[in-house]
Amino acid sequence: MTMELDCIFCKIVNKKIPASILFENDTVLAFRDIEQKAPEHILVIPKAHVPSIMDQSLARDTGIWDAVLDAIQTIAKDLNLDTNGFRVVNNMGLHGGQTVDHLHFHVLGGRQMNWPPG
Ligand code: DGP
């Protein structure tokens, strides 16, 4: 599995720094965002170091997409977010507001979301 030594999310995957983990399997990890923007704010990441949603390594046959979807659905059910709804966000690159260059999907819920997000 590809890892980057100076990547904060790779360090969380490798348990070098702590995180509040909600879900884990061979392919993905889900943990609480350190800057909670909603009552529930979880990040779902591939364990492999994929820099962004545009990365060529993100082929459909890697199993990453299926694993991310499974994790989002599991978390939404476990936290009862599926009843009232929730939001899934991926920020890509400078204009997208991506600050950590390891692919991650924000799962936000527990309050009414606004649109547009700004
Ligand atoms: P983005 O801006 O979309 O790249 O989101 C990156 C998120 O990662 C941001 O909401 C804060 C979160 N984050 C950054 N460093 C850490 C960390 O060390 N632990 C946790 N749990 N979250 C982090």
Structural domain 8-109, CATH architecture = 2-Layer Sandwich (3.30)
User: Which pLDDT score is estimated for 118?
Assistant: 81
Residue bearing the CA closest to ligand 1, atom 19: 34
Write out the DSSP string of 12-30: HHTTSS---EEEE-SSEEE
Whether 101 lines ligand 1, by a CB cut-off of 6 Å, is no
Q: Which two tokens stand for residue 26?
A: 């061979």
User: Which pLDDT score is estimated for 60?
Assistant: 79
Indicate if 104 belongs to the active site.
Answer: yes
pLDDT digits (tens, 9 = 90+) for 8-32: 999 999 999 999 999 999 999 999 9
Residue bearing the CA closest to ligand 1, atom 20: 34
Question: Does pTM top 0.95 for this prediction?
Answer: yes
CB-CB contact of 104 with 29 (8 Å) = no
Residue bearing the CA closest to ligand 1, atom 18: 8
Segments making up each domain of the chain, as ranges:
8-109
User: Which pLDDT score is estimated for 58?
Assistant: 86
Of all residues in the chain, the percent with pLDDT exceeding 70 is 100
Whether 74 lines ligand 1, by a CB cut-off of 6 Å, is no
Task: Provide the residue-wise pLDDT of the chain in tens; the chain has 118 residues.
Answer: 788 889 999 999 999 999 999 999 999 999 999 999 999 999 999 999 999 999 988 887 889 999 999 999 999 999 999 999 999 999 999 999 999 999 999 999 999 999 998 8
| C-alpha–C-alpha distance, residues 94 and 115, integer Å | 20
